Structure 1
């Protein structure tokens, strides 16, 4: 467990400083840095490298969803949507939850459309936490979690996910809970590790959340991108429904990350609290995109199984090149990402290697330590994350380039 005393917990610091510290953007002397994504993207552009750092697809999603957005624009759906989202999309989200998981949220009171999952997470955290509270996440963690926890002045406590499966250490997870734990923030399937939490892990999380009366926020944006295992929403675990808010989005499932259409669902009293905060962030977003995503959520089962199998094939292409490069490869069960260990190459510093890779072999990646607090960064010091949500021919070229790494070191 790590719970570092840092600027992100210092309520006398400026809010922007707490947010930056929570996202690991402040150096030891307090100067503001850029995100690792910006740094790696800049390196990729300057060297002509294939950018497998940031997790966004390089091709569009289904044509019928694009056509639905175009039709909505032509039909005049170009003004503010209702603050909680257009009825058509809220009903489609509720139907999706019932179709895939047997959950039955009320689209009128238990579903809210947000500007991407990121806004849903931010609004939920800001609705429920304050200085002195603790928020538990698993580590490595998506950087926006730390930023919002820091912005709120709360304490960010983490429990480690351990290689090779990147599942929680149960003892560390239990030790991470306390009487001050206000929110447990899950990310399942998990970015950046690609882990998919099994039922027994989710059951224990729910038991501990109930023991300490904590709200469970579950970021499930990769819910349909799993390989050989089934995603289980935590809200479906007995005892979880009354304290769980489920978050997802259209970006990852449908490959329209730029549309920024997300949503959350949960019990009415929690959703109302989040909606109160959310309406003073973006209020509403993407009216024509909302109706288009309603079309997407109604696509047949073959679509959903197809996107997972296609992505699994892409994962395997990249994994082959990474193994040829000499990395230790951790095969993910879900998401866009595959993690590797640089130690078999005699390299212990993945941050240093990430900065050299674009020049060495023409491929960019993200070092996993940037998703951690200092103790976790040391534990993951030799791990790199690559994104495989790219065109097949791009991944084949990246794999071929990576296969030359051993000879160039």
Structure 2
């Protein structure tokens, strides 16, 4: 794929490795905390993702590759057979609805708590998350994480690779390695959370080593054409201060450039931002850009279509949207036709709860007779 697509339309098909996507809109990975307490995806998740199968690609929410990597309660996992079986019900439902899915692999590192995982979190250095963390008992002070040994690092890389194999077994077309948003791989890259003096700390080359080794191991496990990488340059969420952002990302991308990955996914992309423009110029493969819509209290009036088309015009190949897909299961059709958007109903929690505020957002009636509620996918709610 070239750095400048032939079309700037979000609604034209595009190829992503072996996949033929019907449009360039990607459902971004969205934490919703609807799995069981054991990390097994619940039937309502199959319904939720199948409702949104018209997206060119769905990237399922951050899913932990091992027990200690769990962030919050009711986060899905992919490291036990029952997790694989639960996700298989989701991918079967999405496939039956005509969709395609990747799974995001997310290790929280210090963004975790013993009350959530039963384990002391691990991190590059024993530096606690600066804010309290949500647990089943309410917000609790963050735990000081245990500094990872080199053996821990090697075993975590292996866990990511096995999680990727599990994801393919569960029916996903591929996986996205999450090196963004202050999670474990991002913690290794940032200067304020990585105080190590070994081969994984100090210089930029050392600080990107763990992320690069993880991506490489995942690519070797399932094939690079099935692997994406997500980054969020200069993102300060979860107490991150990278310190030398403009050096980190060229070094990271150079370390994985030879792999031929499926895509690079850049969070909060802005067409005129110098680092984003350099990343686009340096990255020869497919780039998914996530527009920065944080200035809007809810959704922009056009649902992000204008921002997405500007990113395509500046060289992005696909565009990921998050909140728009939360409240509009048929977001692609609404954006294509200019139909009104459902607002995100803030009275319902984004992160806890059941079907309400999750699977009950209305879709447009195909015959133009008004709105109707999207029903559960046949078999998706049977628990089988």
TM-score by structure 1 length? 0.31
Greater RCO (Cα-Cα under 8 Å, separation 6 or more):
1
Q: Which has the larger radius of gyration?
A: 1
Q: Which has the higher helix share?
A: 1
Structure 2 length normalisation: TM-score?
0.33
